[in-house]
Amino acid sequence: MVSDLIGEEIFQDLIVATLQDVTGMVLPGSHLAMALATHVSRAFFKVLSKHKKGDQQDRLDALARMPFSRAFGLAAEQVAEADLDEDLKGELVKYLSAIPMTSRQAIHRWDDGGHVTTLLSQLPRGPEQMVRFLPIRPPRFQPGYKVPGHDLRLETLLGQGGFAEVWKARNTVRSGEPPVALKFCLDEELLTSLKREIELLDKLKGYSPEKDFVQLKQTAYSADPPFLVYEYIDGGNLTNWLESFQDKAPKPEEVVSVLKMAARAIAVAHEHNIVHRDLKPANLMVTGEGRVKVADFGIGAVMAESEAAKGGQDLADSANPTLLHGAFTPLYSDPMRDRSDPPSPQDDVYALGVIAYQLLVGNVSWRMEGGWRRYLEKLDIPEPLIEVVDTCVAPPDQRYANAGALLAALESPTKSNKPKPKKPKAPQPKKPKPKSPPSTEVRFCHQCGGRLPPGNKFCNACGHPVPGGAA
């Protein structure tokens, strides 16, 4: 194993380079987070790129193993001597000391067996790729923090979002309890979004098996700050899963398997009038066994038509139940969509189409731009699977109605459907075929996405014929 001293060495070099970059800088409080990420990513890449690639891997591995207490001590010691505003010093220490944790999350993969090591394909190629190794902003908490009023102690920072901070935590009384993930809401103006997330997950709980969604275990809505307790997913997210292929694209059948798991979960949500609204690789978690689970319904919505019909409530309130009216991730958002329209299941279908494309090319940063179909053909992706992706991102009137319809399409073979020529055979007397019992597998209609009763030959809702349905 590479000496941990190498990790301390590059961490100290990073601190020095960062201080040289930010000294004399005037940072308004509202811009502090963005400024630190920009400056530290530039400094980090500068010190890392001085070494050969193999040495870069060793240094990142050692940095990721550094205990928080050691990182905090080194950062506090060196920052104290800098000619900076005292408030900035405090924020800079919190930011720098979190880097070993965020680096560990950046290189973690679902199949690493707990031994976090940097793949050659994970090495950043520029300052902009260095950002994923860094916090978004100085963390609100630190490892070892005991949550007031709860038998929970924070262990490591798992991620940050626009209004949230997610930490891995353990029970301080029951040592045998598995770890959990705590999602803190750091902006009281967004408590409506947190409450909506609780309501949506409670609504889904009665309809979906635990394998489909990251499970909400407990709420602390009245805590300061409020937080939710989720099951801890040990394999990271879909980005981490993709990185395990080391810059190579997964086989189409592996991509289809992932898409089926995601589409099956979202189909359940759509069936009960719930739209996720922010599907992306970071919100598709992967367990150590390779099971995909959907997370983060923070900006999810109950479809306006359904809610308005129930209680006559205002359509705009129902369509935009959170304070995050325009919240979405642009890369996975339908450019043809009118933002004033109520949320639709087709929003999620579009996002799944983009995710499918990124998985097939092996890169979650790629955009679906002109020529994307030709590129998939060049990669020898089966034509039926390209058609599925195409239908996901087509104009709404040509797109799958919901994730149930997408799942039905994915259940079809991804190989060529052209029949193979057969040699003529002598006519044989027809024998009556034994009737097989109707299937109990849950299926969805390819046309309307509705749930199909077992053994049906036609969809009850729209009359569309069902491939393989009982006569």
Q: Which residues are catalytic?
A: 278
Calpha distance 374→294 (Å, rounded): 30
Question: Is residue 347 exposed (0-12), middle (13-18) or buried (19+ Cβ within 10 Å)?
Answer: buried
DSSP 228-281: EEEEPPTT-BHHHHHHTTTTSPPPHHHHHHHHHHHHHHHHHHHHTTEE-----G
DSSP 1-20: ---HHHHHHHHHHHHHHHHH
Over its C-alpha atoms, the chain yields an Rg (Å, rounded) of: 25
Calpha distance 378→117 (Å, rounded): 33
Which parts of 84-161 are beta strand (E)?
152-160
Calpha distance 372→378 (Å, rounded): 10
- Host H or E run for residue 284: strand 284-286
DSSP SS3 for 301: strand
Helix 252-271, helix 345-361: angle, nearest 10: 170
Calpha distance 438→353 (Å, rounded): 32
CA angle 207, 212, 215 (to 5 degrees): 85
Question: Is residue 173 exposed (0-12), middle (13-18) or buried (19+ Cβ within 10 Å)?
Answer: exposed
The Cα-based distances of 23 to 54, 81, 315, 363, 374 in angstroms read 32, 11, 52, 36, 49
**What is the distance of C-alpha 462 from the center of its chain?**
33
Amino acid at 88: L
Give the HSE-up count for residue 382: Cα atoms under 13 Å, Cβ half-sphere. Answer: 17
